[in-house]
Amino acid sequence: FDPVPRRAAPDRLLAVVAGIVLSDPEATLRQIGARLEALREPTPRGGAHWRPGSVAHVLARARKAGLLPAA
């Protein structure tokens, strides 16, 4: 048996993060994480607390998807 491949995170998370960044382009990774926590948006692994590295990863995915301009 082969292991089941991991499911991709929903595109909704990318859209939420892109919306936060577009509304406040000067926001830090910690500020974006705090806003995601205030929205009760779970982390990709299902946690409640966003770390700056996780936010950076989602930002990179949003840029790659074309939702945000390249940095």
- Give me the pLDDT at residue 9, please: 59
Within a 13 Å sphere around the CA of 43, how many CA atoms are in the beta-carbon half? 15
- Give me the pLDDT at residue 28, please: 97
- pTM of the full predicted structure? 0.83
Confirm if 14 and 68 have CB atoms less than 8 A apart: no
* Each residue's pLDDT tens digit, 2-60: 888 776 656 899 999 999 999 999 999 999 999 999 999 999 889 999 999 999 999 99
- Give me the pLDDT at residue 8, please: 64
Residues in contact with 60: Cβ distance below 8 Å, sequence separation at least 6, in sequence order: none
